[in-house]
Amino acid sequence: MRTWLCVGGQRVEVVLPFLGRCHPDSGRCCQTCTPMSWDGFYSERFPSLGFRDISRVTEKDTRFRGWLARRVCGLLAVCSWRIPADTPGDLPARLCRSRRVQDAAAARGPARGDGWKEKILELLGDIQAPLSLLMLRICHWALLKLLSRLFLSVQLHRGQLETVLRAASTPRVPLVFLSTHKSQLDGPLLSFVLFSQGLGVPRVTVGAQGCSPRLRSLLRRLGGVFLPAGMEQQTRRDPEDALPGAVLAAYVEEVLRSRQPLLIFLEEPAVPLHLSASARRWLALVQGAVRAGAVPDVLLVPVGIGYDVVPGGSQPEAARGAQPLGIGACLWAALRALRRNLGCVRVDFAQPFSLQVGQWGRSLGMGAVGVSGDLLSPSLWEAAVDPVSSVMLRCAPTAPSSPFPGVRGQKPWQVRREAGGAAAAAQHPRHVVSRTQPQAARSLRGLPAALPHPSHPVFHRPGHLDAGNTGLGAPGSTKATSLEAPEEELVTNLGLHSLSDSVSCSAVMSVGITSALLLHKYREGVFLSRLMQDFAWLLEEILLRQRDVGFSGQLRALVQHSLILLRARLHLYHLSPLGDVLVVPEASARTWMELGHHSAAILPIFASEAVGACAIRALLAEVMPFLEPTSQASSIIFSQDELHCKTLELLQLLPPNVLGLRPCQPLGCWSEDIVDKLVLCGVLEPEEPEGEHWVCDTAPRAFSRRQAQPRMDFSDSDSEDEGPLRRCFKLGEPQGSPRLLLFLCRLLSPVLGTYAGAVAFLGQTRWPQPEAAYVEELLQFLAKEGSELPNRSLALSSLQTFKEMGVLEEVRGPPGPLLHLAQPFRSSTNRERLEAFIQQFIQP
């Protein structure tokens, strides 16, 4: 894998292979939710390996050759790109003939003449405009020139592209691309990618970002689609607002019927890892079109975008402002971006999966219509006729048995130490941390007794994606769509699941790895040689977790490239006697914010290990006061039940979308998987205490050697040897990964620090107040109290968690919904207990 070159006997260089030849198995669809799509449009080895820089157009991309063709090859290539489909010319007449639109118009009351038709045409003009082919090609030619100046390369994997092109050839089935949203450049970039690769001009949905009338008109001519004014507050019960929703639904049906690709952004640029209200609206419209039979099926394609430096991403959120975006502001932003090196960008496509045969389609009663026949190729959908797959399709996944023996009806947070347990543990060189389940205690350890039971629906993360589960979306989901509650939950679950798939298929860039090391490991400074060694270690850990990276080449060149892009926030000192370079980050809140923004892609990769590391940190904080001063942390032995309980506490606190986890797995599965991953990465080592019957094998218990040969005892004595077999672990030091436990703990420190600050803010504000005002005041409070600039995404996550836990209550009134502080948490003692509960997981 690596070649080591020694120069002068001191420095070490690592040459990485071309990573396009060993592409990880990433971007696979979920086998639990879409079992019949698992083998569709996917091959273990991509037919075409390697990458393509789509921003570098040569004469080979045209049908002309010669000196003049080389000079104008970009213009010739853009003029040769074809548009496979366009909006039908009789679209207004089709909308007027729609039964849904006619019923909505009739509900508004009788109109004089063609008054309601004029209203429909006005709403259609507000949503979209006919494509201008000339303007479309001119703008894409200018965008081609801009991308070649902004970025060193715009990489696209050839195998992923062939997979999407093969999916696009499915008869009568349109493609809907679901993408992450990191900057305002994402829309033009993905539109250029799809148009240049023969997938057509996509209809790009525009979210909550306000646009000036001129920019809005231009974007509509280039393929942008907008929600009609007031759609965010629309409800089904209001007949006056039913017509815009009916026109929009009919328009989406016609777009899908004409097989135009639709691009939906799942999040807002300023709030990553959160499903936006506009995304829920568009997903509900797509799902409604399939349910109404407008199209037999829809293929969803998650899209991930990876930037070395996100255009405009390092600016504070307050600097962006809420002013409408205009054409002049866009040109000025492009000119400012040209003055800075933005590095490379990588676009990744995950495996397409079917909406019709997925868990979401079955839950809405779509059935399996259109799976057979000429809809899908039998070679691509062999599972559709497989009896075993049919059984998997009909059976919803069930939650595994609880990992805590005898915990039914009990809180995993609760603990009851045995009499003399702490004193006995302090007398032995090896200390066993175990937890016995309580029988009748009701108060949580360190938390108010008023908190709900973990089996309460507010703690039930969406594990099965069925109508009975409570979907947990971003704050404000109650007014996102006009659907009923079960359908709204399914749409939210679909969006969160697609967002997780988009994040998991995004490639990690070299700047992200370097920023993560500087932020979470070397804030005081590090030598370049040591930074290179840790860069190689973190790169190997990422590849071992089946995540792809968007770079290749010599290690020293990669690290120097990332340091050049970060040079505005770093101080470099060349030490001639040592022949090394000292890299010191600038100690400022702006530096930590920028490094955190660049390294945001690292947390979803190590989220499971980070949760487990914080759980271990909390257990160590509990037992250390009872140990001797000379005791080592490696001498402490943790029981499996203790690790599961503490891990489950943290999982119940953090929403899955913050950690980048799929919302289709129950918390018990995550807890077990986290402990297994900690053993695999070397943080935990199996251990068997003396005088105890413990199973230290990391394999599943069903295959344990000790269980395979049980001891047959027919005596009447009640010995302790007949108790349940359990595993225990001790801390280990992974080879080649120094201070891994500390690094994993610090990955979650910004998240948990925001949660702890949000608890302290509860007693500093006035109640009640609107949700928007609460978020803005919370951000101001965190900016004053903390050393780092606050993150709006984390602030919204804390608000979501507090509403689910019952800390905050939402009461609807005439002026709108208002947030109230729940009665138990009006006491400063209970707020301090909640803050102490969160602080136990934070690594300073």
Distance CA 434, CA 418 (A): 10
Confidence of residue 322 (pLDDT cuts 50, 70, 90): low
Give percent above pLDDT 90 in the chain. 23
Tokens linked to 840 = 């136990």
Give percent above pLDDT 70 in the chain. 71
Query: Per residue in 637-648, pLDDT tens?
Result: 888 888 889 999
Distance CA 840, CA 146 (A): 49
pLDDT mean across residues, the chain: 75
- CA-angle at 437, arms to 436 and 438, nearest 5°: 115
More confident residue, 282 or 25: 282
Question: To which residue do tokens 């879409």 refer?
Answer: 34
Is residue 549 a contact partner of residue 489, using CB atoms and an 8 Å limit?
no
Least confident of 7-11, 85-89, 315-319, 800-804: 7-11
Confidence (pLDDT) at 700 = 41
Chain-centroid distance, C-alpha 598: 15
CB atoms inside a 10 Å sphere around CB 511: 29
Distance CA 607, CA 544 (A): 14
Q: Long-range contacts: 773-780, Cβ < 8 Å, 24+?
A: 774/799, 774/819, 775/799, 779/317
Query: Per residue in 111-122, pLDDT tens?
Result: 655 677 888 888
**Cα distances (Å, whole numbers) of residue 686 to 544, 635, 641, 727, 739:** 22, 12, 14, 7, 19
812 exposure class (CB count in 10 Å sphere: 0-12, 13-18, 19+): exposed
Distance CA 802, CA 366 (A): 35
More confident residue, 458 or 248: 248
Confidence of residue 535 (pLDDT cuts 50, 70, 90): very high
**Cα distances (Å, whole numbers) of residue 96 to 121, 265, 291, 443, 776:** 9, 29, 21, 61, 43
Distance CA 507, CA 543 (A): 11
31 exposure class (CB count in 10 Å sphere: 0-12, 13-18, 19+): middle
Tokens linked to 761 = 């803010």
Least confident of 141-155, 179-193, 358-372, 471-485: 471-485
H/E run at residue 647: helix 640-653
**With the CA atoms of 526, 528, 533 and 535 taken in that order, what torsion angle do they form, in degrees rounded to the nearest 10?**
80
**Which residues have a Cβ under 8 Å from the Cβ of 818 and sit 6 or more positions away?**
768, 769, 770, 810, 811, 812
Residue among 213, 68, 67, 204 nearest 143 (CA) = 204
- Please, how many CA atoms are within 13 Å of residue 16, restricted to the half-sphere of its CB? 25
Confidence (pLDDT) at 761 = 93
H/E run at residue 685: strand 684-686
Tokens linked to 505 = 């298929």
Query: Per residue in 486-509, pLDDT tens?
Result: 778 888 888 988 999 899 899 999
Identity of the residue numbered 343: G
Strands (DSSP E) found in 168-215: 175-179, 203-205
Tokens linked to 370 = 């259109």
Identity of the residue numbered 133: L
Say what the pTM is: 0.81
Is 748-839 CATH 1.50.10.150? no
Q: Residues 787-802: what's their mean pLDDT?
A: 85
Q: Per-residue DSSP letters for 321-342? A: -SSPB-HHHHHHHHHHHHTS--
